[in-house]
Structure 1
Amino acid sequence: MTASAQPKPDACPAFDAVQWDARATVLACRLVDGETLASVENVIEEVPVALVYNGISHAVMLASPNDLEDFALGFSLSEGILQSPGELYDCEVVHSAKGIEVSLEIAAARMFGLKERRRNLAGRTGCGLCGVDSLEAAVRPPAPVAPRTAVRASAIQRALAELNAWQPLHRATGAAHAAAWADDDGKLRLVREDVGRHNALDKLAGALATRRTNTADGFALVTSRASYEMVHKAAAAGIGVLAAISAPTAFAVRVADAAHVTLIGLARTGRLTAYTHPDQLLGT
């Protein structure tokens, strides 16, 4: 590939944006069968998103700039900042050239608790514990999930088969994770996408909370590995069955077992593995 054959990259519109989008287009070079071709590519956007509680900035995460109200609520619940959705009084999303600020107005009691344990989180797309400054803060055992009826393996297979059609951002860019909610029959009801797997699950948790979805009637499916943080977020949302396309970590298995979460990994067409509470998974 010669220098003259390389197109100049597009100036990403990100830094002078006034309204962020979940994806951008850039010029690139494709090498196909030895031939260099100029191409226009869709790339996923990751934007600094500041979560500001009652006027005080608490966390800056890198996230996809869509469904941010769901993200803010889900993050607040999974982090224990809020105990219930009703403690969030208002949520405003403001775009600027430097990023996005999500301003949340929360109950005074919850704000007092946040100030007591305030920490500086600097989120990154692959990291679920950024900014945690002690082992006690890092390892927070979730409350056990309430018992639920068993889910059928065929329902998980149906959800897997439907998932790609519900991922427009991933189809356009190839770089988005998804967190999906399916009913007990495996029919998808909600899907949220994000450049970060934790963010996608927070968005889903926020959407479920907003809709007051009964999380005993269904299961979650994620397009990532099942880490400790993913299991913790699922348990915090009351999700009793979490299926992941990739494998879990050992830590995640231990946490899922203690939290009464049925953790399913390597969920692919025609096969899956139940790592905890397999009695909650029916073979048909």
Structure 2
Amino acid sequence: MVSAVSVFPDGSRAAVSRDLVPEAPVALEFNGLSYAVMMATPADLADFALGFALSEGLAGSAADLTDLALAEVEHGWIVRATLSGVGVEQLTERVRARVAESSCGLCGIENLEALTKPLPPVATHAALEPQAIFAALAGLETRQPLQQATGAAHAAAWADNAGAIGLVREDVGRHNALDKLIGALAKDGKPLAPGFVLSTARCSYEIVEKTVRAGGTTLVTVSLPTTMAVDRAQAAGLSLWSLARGDSALLVNDGATR
């Protein structure tokens, strides 16, 4: 909560109190190694750690991440977990370049080289009916308590092909919200497809990458994509809808079979 002053065009003022979106450093440690530190909303952190490991390619399934433990420390939070399976070698190789970074952006030569690696092709999927998008947008409005309280939180949601919202996760960071969603679904053994991901984020390269790697086939975002996001969606066959509003949506890439 913060005390502030609202100032109006006529010069009048009014004292107000506003809730703020929580933000704190969250350190992710796998097998005793510090892998990354992100600024995130300290809620659903177990989902966040699992979703992050899956979308980063460290974990192949929810079973690869065990012994999850959360600890609030003086300057933030630490999430510790045991990693097994395909990601153990990657962990020791890449931890050097991931001492501390945001989940936004590309960092270092390893990530630049990773841009040349093809994404796995998305599964064959049916075309999404536009009405499902409008239904999901309407349903999302009442499923964002943090956004309603602060006006400063992103959301990522999973909806079925009829547009019914099944799960929502919120965070101050757009990538973090998607990681939380991916982790929560994986923990419950629920796939991203059939159905679609709805994100309130700017549609960047990373949002497309995370959706594809987690097994999604259709992504809907409320803003336009970047050029790299479109390129990656087209290469993987991801159906991409953007600029989604209550009365319109833009089909940017149609990867559906007909």
- The bucket for the TM-score relative to the shorter chain is over 0.9
- Kindly tell me: are residues 109 and 213 of structure 1, through their superposed partners in 2, closer, same or farther at Cα, counting changes over 3 Å? closer
- Conservation of the 8 A alpha-carbon contact between 2:28 and 2:49: yes
Please list, as runs of the form range in 1=range in 2, the aligned pairs for 1:208-247 lying within 5 A after superposition. 208-247=185-224
CA deviation after TM superposition for structure 1 residue 133, in Å: 5.1
Please list, as runs of the form range in 1=range in 2, the aligned pairs for 1:181-200 lying within 5 A after superposition. 181-200=158-177
Letter in 2 for 1:27: S
Q: Report which structure shows greater RCO (CA 8 Å, sep ≥6).
A: 2
Query: Is 2:5 the counterpart of 1:29?
Result: yes
TM-score, normalised to structure 1, is 0.85
* 2:59 corresponding residue in structure 1: 82
Letter in 1 for 2:7: L
After TM superposition, the structure 1 stretch with the greater mean CA deviation from structure 2, 43-52 or 135-144, is 135-144
Query: Is 2:127 the counterpart of 1:150?
Result: yes
- Conservation of the 8 A alpha-carbon contact between 1:122 and 1:131: no
CA deviation after TM superposition for structure 1 residue 131, in Å: 5.7
Letter in 2 for 1:231: V
Partner Cα distance (1:196, 1:140) in 2 = 26
Provide the aligned C-alpha RMSD in A: 1.8
CA deviation after TM superposition for structure 1 residue 114, in Å: 1.0
- Kindly tell me: are residues 280 and 191 of structure 1, through their superposed partners in 2, closer, same or farther at Cα, counting changes over 3 Å? farther
Partner Cα distance (1:44, 1:209) in 2 = 26
After TM superposition, the structure 1 stretch with the greater mean CA deviation from structure 2, 71-80 or 113-122, is 113-122
- Conservation of the 8 A alpha-carbon contact between 1:81 and 1:110: yes
- Conservation of the 8 A alpha-carbon contact between 1:30 and 1:38: yes
* 2:151 corresponding residue in structure 1: 174
Query: Is 2:203 the counterpart of 1:206?
Result: no
* 1:115 corresponding residue in structure 2: 92
- Conservation of the 8 A alpha-carbon contact between 1:121 and 1:130: no
Q: Which has the larger radius of gyration?
A: 1
SS in structure 2 opposite 1:165? helix
Partner Cα distance (2:108, 2:152) in 1 = 25
- Conservation of the 8 A alpha-carbon contact between 1:124 and 1:130: no
CA deviation after TM superposition for structure 1 residue 140, in Å: 4.4
CA deviation after TM superposition for structure 1 residue 241, in Å: 0.4
CA deviation after TM superposition for structure 1 residue 82, in Å: 1.1
Deviations 1:143-165 (A, max 9, x none): 11111222211011100111110
Q: Which runs of 5+ in 2 are unaligned?
A: none
- Kindly tell me: are residues 159 and 109 of structure 1, through their superposed partners in 2, closer, same or farther at Cα, counting changes over 3 Å? closer
Percent identity between matched residues is: 46
After TM superposition, the structure 1 stretch with the greater mean CA deviation from structure 2, 134-143 or 80-89, is 134-143
Partner Cα distance (2:85, 2:200) in 1 = 37
Query: Is 2:247 the counterpart of 1:260?
Result: no
Letter in 1 for 2:2: V
TM-score, normalised to structure 2, is 0.93
Letter in 1 for 2:67: D
- Kindly tell me: are residues 132 and 76 of structure 1, through their superposed partners in 2, closer, same or farther at Cα, counting changes over 3 Å? farther
- Kindly tell me: are residues 280 and 193 of structure 1, through their superposed partners in 2, closer, same or farther at Cα, counting changes over 3 Å? farther
Partner Cα distance (2:198, 2:134) in 1 = 10
After TM superposition, the structure 1 stretch with the greater mean CA deviation from structure 2, 227-236 or 76-85, is 76-85
Query: Is 2:36 the counterpart of 1:62?
Result: no
Deviations 1:192-241 (A, max 9, x none): 00111011111111111111113222001000221110000000111100
Match of 2:81 among 104, 122, 127: 104
Q: Which runs of 5+ in 1 are unaligned?
A: 1-24
Deviations 1:64-112 (A, max 9, x none): 1111111100110111111221111121111122000000111166323
